[in-house]
Chains A and B, each alone.
Chain A
Amino acid sequence: MMKVNVTKLMEAISEAEDYRAIEEGRAGLSYLYDSLYTPISNGEPVRLHDLDYDRFSLENVSELEDYYDTNSLNQWKASNISRELRSLQPAALKVDFL
């Protein structure tokens, strides 16, 4: 049986580093993330004509693909953890002050 200490879980979540999609200083990848990835993953339309092809390299497009693969894998892992947590049964504990 899996046991989860809710207090410790909440502490771990609050101590986790803020999520940063793209590291600073990666101009080409950041441009693609903002101009292509964010709208397209939110279901918004994108016109390829609107992209500035001088602001990124082919390597940046490959990096965006890697980011998408990693992000998809992490989302899958997170949804598995979430499912596990939701399926846990509450356990009765002896409380000293009662």
Chain B
Amino acid sequence: MDCIKYVIFLVYLVKQLNDIGKLELIKFLLDAPIMCDEEPDFDIYYDAVFTAIDNIFEYSTRRYYENNCFELTVLSDKVMVDYYILAGEFGKQRGISDKENPYIIDAMREAERHFKFSYDLSWLIYGYTEPKRPFHSRLAIIIYDGGNIDMIGVAIGVAAMYKFFQDKCSELRGLLSKEAGAA
């Protein structure tokens, strides 16, 4: 990918971080002069990308499984945990099962929208409407060996998922409190 295109993607990611209130995560990048001269230094860009992936969600682990040749990143956050609890309340009030719950289905679709850009990338969502432990609801991202995945695409997807949970939590809280007030 050429430098200008990369800078455009980077600005997209920075704008996402601004919109979710997490711009300080990549402060080191914001202050650095970026140039697209003959030999751009991509190291700082990749630092920003991995910093974003590892820190947007409060809980984050990454592990490489040598025998299965893939890297697994597991992410969770209060907004994600709250989202599934609120979605569960929404479903209970309407007698809808988790499988038919539109909010649970929406989260799957949102993940598909952001992570379905390479055959070497896969994802799973474990969402619990009644969590048993902290950070129980999780987003897992699997990156297989040998793939040529642009990690800025993964970072953009992670930021988009966070924004999705953040926005939908507000929506669900508003909806549920309105209904509680009406009852």
A67 to chain B, nearest CB (A): 9
Chain A: interface secondary structure? helix
**B7 interfacial by beta-carbon distance below 8 Å:** yes
Interface members, chain B 34-51 (any A CB < 8 Å): 34-37
Interface members, chain A 13-38 (any B CB < 8 Å): 32, 36-37
Task: Choose one: A49, A53, A56, A62; the contact of B31 (CB below 8 Å).
Answer: A49
B160, closest chain A residue (CB): A58
Say yes or no: A58 contacts B30, CB within 8 Å.
no
A side interface size, CB within 8 A: 22
Q: How far apart sit A49 and B33, CA to CA, in the bound complex (Å)?
A: 9
B35, closest chain A residue (CB): A45
Say yes or no: B30 contacts A48, CB within 8 Å.
yes
Q: How far apart sit A53 and B23, CA to CA, in the bound complex (Å)?
A: 10
**B14 interfacial by beta-carbon distance below 8 Å:** yes
Task: Give 1 or 0 for each of B4-45: 1 = CB within 8 Å of chain A CB.
Answer: 110111111011101100010000011111111100000000
Say yes or no: A41 contacts B34, CB within 8 Å.
no
Say yes or no: A48 contacts B5, CB within 8 Å.
no
Say yes or no: A41 contacts B10, CB within 8 Å.
no
Chain B: interface secondary structure? helix
**A43 interfacial by beta-carbon distance below 8 Å:** yes
**A46 interfacial by beta-carbon distance below 8 Å:** yes
Q: Known interface pairs A48-B10, A51-B11. Does A40 touch B18 (Cβ–Cβ under 8 Å)?
A: no
Which residues of chain B have C-beta atoms less than 8 A from A58's C-beta?
12, 15-16, 19
Q: How far apart sit A51 and B31, CA to CA, in the bound complex (Å)?
A: 11
Say yes or no: A41 contacts B12, CB within 8 Å.
no
Which residues of chain A have C-beta atoms less than 8 A from B30's C-beta?
47-49
Question: Can you list 25 residue pairs at the A/B interface with Cβ under 8 Å?
Answer: A36-B7, A37-B4, A40-B7, A40-B35, A40-B36, A41-B4, A43-B36, A45-B34, A46-B35, A47-B30, A47-B33, A47-B34, A48-B10, A48-B29, A48-B32, A49-B31, A51-B14, A53-B14, A53-B15, A53-B23, A56-B15, A57-B15, A61-B11, A64-B8, A68-B5
Given A32-B11, A36-B11, 13 other A-B residues pairs in contact with their CB atoms under 8 A: A40-B35, A41-B4, A43-B35, A47-B30, A47-B31, A47-B32, A48-B11, A48-B29, A48-B34, A51-B11, A65-B8, A65-B9, A68-B5
Interface residues of A (CB under 8 A from B): 32, 36-37, 40-41, 43-49, 51, 53, 56-58, 61-62, 64-65, 68
